[in-house]
Amino acid sequence: MLTLHKLELFVYVAQAGSISKAADHFLTSQPNVSQHIQDLEAEFGEQLLIRKHRGIELTPAGETLLQYAQEIIKLAAEAKLAITNVSRLRAGNLALAATPGVGIYVLPECVERFRIRYPQFTISIKTSTTSEVIDLVADRRCDVGFIEGELNGIRPPPRLGVLILDNVQQFVVVSQAHPWWNATSLSIRALDDQPVILRQIGSQSRAWLDRILKDQNVRLRYVGEFDNPETIKRALLAGGAFAILPAYVVRHEVDLGVLRLLPVNDCDLQRQLKLIWNKEWPLSPIAYAFLQHLAQEYPAIRSLLDSSGRRMVRAKPSAR
């Protein structure tokens, strides 16, 4: 029997080029995915894909089915978005992806307020690097993603949309043990040859800072490299180095008076908070509701919601 689930499996296999990836995504076994593909082939009397040593290749019949299946799935998703009343759903899942600072310090409060309004939903946040967040959203393993920073050197797939939500100021952060504790601001040159704790090489945060320092001809004395902002804070509290972080990462410690934010007065240390989503697929009703909730804090999201709303109107059948 031809079902929407079988079509979704087929589309994912075709896009990922892998039966094993589809099995992981749908939390099932590879033999089960293969059986569904064989059911489709029996339904149409045509071979849909060819299994190769590395992945799969679609046959001409498979290419044709892929086009139709994508349209069918999108129409079904649009219908679901247009009709569903999320407040009456008994359960549901929302998967978010985010870079570490956003995933640890920005999203949890937003998610908790949303969860209070919709306690029946399960919400997960997968924290990872920029490139991995992009992959999670592109492969539809997460509904939407949040990235703080630049996409230099990373080219998102054309199917992803990118929306700037906010500009995030970065500060020099020091503890009471640091000689700069009583300063009110710093120049970028003051950082030269000073002990610093940084994000790890390979992160977008590190690449962004390295570019700025190179442009300013400033060399830092690296005393620590960590992949988590929380670890950086712990190291700051224990020693006399500094770090460069956004205010939201150290808000609690600043309020307690154990860390201090110092602006750099002659260099722009702003980064951008970005939302990414898969333009090829309509938002799920729960993802749409979450972004409506988030738009109260980040009004730029309304442009995305408005465009989704227009698609919903076009998808509605004419009244008779």
Specify the pTM.
0.79
The DSSP symbol for 72 reads H
Instruction: Compute the distance between CA of residue 121 and CA of residue 265 in angstroms, rounded to an integer.
Output: 45
Can you give the pLDDT of all 320 residues of the chain as single tens digits?
Answer: 889 999 999 998 998 888 998 898 888 999 999 999 999 999 999 999 998 887 899 999 999 999 999 889 888 877 877 788 888 899 999 999 999 899 999 999 999 999 999 999 999 999 998 999 999 999 888 999 999 988 877 888 888 999 999 999 999 999 999 999 999 999 999 999 999 999 888 888 888 999 999 999 999 999 999 988 899 999 999 878 999 999 999 999 999 999 999 999 999 999 999 999 998 888 899 999 999 999 999 999 998 888 765 444 333 443 33
Distances (CA, A) of 251 to 166, 175, 302: 18, 13, 28
List the domains of the chain with CATH numbers: 4-83 (1.10.10.10), 88-166+272-315 (3.40.190.10), 167-270 (3.40.190.290)
Q: Give me the pLDDT at residue 85, please.
A: 85
Hey, which residues does 198 pair with through a beta bridge? 225
Instruction: Compute the distance between CA of residue 188 and CA of residue 249 in angstroms, rounded to an integer.
Output: 21
**Percent of residues in the chain assigned helix, strand, coil, to nearest 5:** 45, 20, 30
Strand ranges in 206-291 using DSSP code E only, listed in sequence order: 221-226, 243-246, 259-262, 270-278
Q: Residues with Cβ < 8 Å from 318, sequence gap 6 or more?
A: none
Distances (CA, A) of 226 to 196, 199, 201, 232, 247: 11, 5, 9, 6, 18
Residue 169, φ and ψ in degrees, nearest 5: -75, 140
With CA atoms as reference, report the closest residue to 12 among 283, 189, 28, 247.
28
With CA atoms as reference, report the closest residue to 265 among 174, 191, 215.
191
Q: Give me the pLDDT at residue 291, please.
A: 95
How many other β-carbons are positioned within 10 Å of the β-carbon of residue 114?
A: 20
Residue 11 in 3-state DSSP?
helix
Q: Residues with Cβ < 8 Å from 42, sequence gap 6 or more?
A: none
Residue 227 · residue 199 · CB < 8 Å:
yes
Distances (CA, A) of 34 to 25, 198, 263, 313: 14, 46, 57, 37
